[in-house]
Amino acid sequence: MKPVRVGLLGLGTVGGGTFNVLCRNAEEIARRAGRGIDITHAAAREYDAARLPGIENIRVSDDAFAVVDDADIDIVVELIGGYEPARELVLRAIANGKHVVTANKALIAVHGNEIFAAAQARGVMVAFEAAVAGGIPIIKAVREGLSANRINWIAGIINGTGNFILTEMRDKGRDFADVLAEAQQLGYAEADPTFDVEGIDAAHKLTILGSLAFGIPLQFDKVYTEGISHITREDVNYAEQLGYRIKHLGITRRTTAGVELRVHPTLIPDRRLIANVDGVMNAVLVNADAVGPTLYYGAGAGSEPTASAVVADIIDVARTLTADPENRVPHLAFQPDALSDLPILDMDDVETGYYLRLCASDKPGVMADIARILGDGGISIEAIIQKEPQEGEQTVPVILLTRGVRERQMNAAIRGIESLDSIEGRVTRIRLEHLSSR
């Protein structure tokens, strides 16, 4: 059987890793795929030939559209990232009857509905395992391995940069800005770290997981997104004292009213396995009705970990090149005509516990006022830490944990607390999830 011919768009970190893995493991990959898989054409504006042994044996140019339009190419692998020209290239590859593999979470989260519809109409596949959690095969697990289950919720550490920052703040008592600067020096964070630390990268990935889990269209614009730049080392320390750790989570949950899609810092009990995922590692916890909770852990980024997922997708596509398009695994796990119109919940309607940190005057009656406001809002207090005032200070930090309550009620209570003359500044609020079997 003749080899599958691959066109590669991008020879950077992931593209280079993909080239090297395909070349190094060519024999093993051919045994798995049932035929050889050869990269015959690549596009890159610049690349380091020294780290790509064998690159001289293929055609390389700076014209990505030439690869997409190459009549000899069976599969186009898009690894350039971003929205454009990635979207145009992918749609043109589909129009040309080529299968597509991509690691581009932003592209899938924002334009995936359009791309999958085009692929369905043309009878080609779009594979995107590497778009979420790097080398962890979470998309295959949710879409295929758990296909017998009704998924209840997914919670994931799906951005390694944010996890590295929070780990360093906890383990070494460092400030956010200090750790961010180191993350940039180490190459974990970009010069503009907004996508990582403000949750946008995680929101792209959560959009995809939510669609796969619940059979809904991709709806990135409806994800509640909050970053970690306001988290202080004091918050991290207080969470530890209370038996919790702060992680930047993407959470999607099915409720009777609709689907939650939210990314934000979250307190979780330190005994949970996912609470002990540190550094740049990723982990995704899936709770489903038949199997219960399952945890998927591994490298969420990097050259060869991500290439592992890209090449696995290429092998999957190669295996099904001659299969009936109507009998392939659906892009979003559910048949295209069976996607649900379940609404995405507004954040005001989400119910969760809360960590509150406030700066209160050191005088009688203050806690009574706070408790009254919370009580009037139907909010129960689960734990309190009240520190002794430092010498010469007139205010003290007060930390509260609450039981589950709707965000709307908590917003009103926070406004009431902040209006008290005895409260200085803003109330810090971090959501809390127990991630139990519910």
Q: Which residues are catalytic?
A: 205
**In 91-179, at which residue ranges do the beta strands (DSSP E only) sit?**
99-102, 126-127, 151-157
Tell me if residue 339 falls in helix, strand or coil: coil
Pick the closest to residue 69 from 88, 56, 54 (CA basis).
Answer: 88
Helix (H) or strand (E) holding 120: helix 105-122
Q: 């051919």: which residue's tokens?
A: 30
Pick the closest to residue 40 from 5, 64, 67 (CA basis).
Answer: 5
Neighbour-count burial for 385-420, b at 16+ CB within 10 Å, e otherwise: eeeeeeeeeebbbbbbbbeebbbebbeebbebbeee
Q: What DSSP line would sit under 187-256, residue for residue? A: TSS-SS-HHHHTSHHHHHHHHHHHHHHHT----GGG-EE--STT--HHHHHHHHHTTEEEEEEEEEEE-S
Which phi and psi (to 5°) does residue 97 adopt? 80, 20
Please tell me the distance from the alpha carbon of residue 365 to that of residue 422, in angstroms, as a whole number.
Answer: 9
49 and 56 Cβ atoms separated by less than 8 Å: yes
138 and 154 Cβ atoms separated by less than 8 Å: no
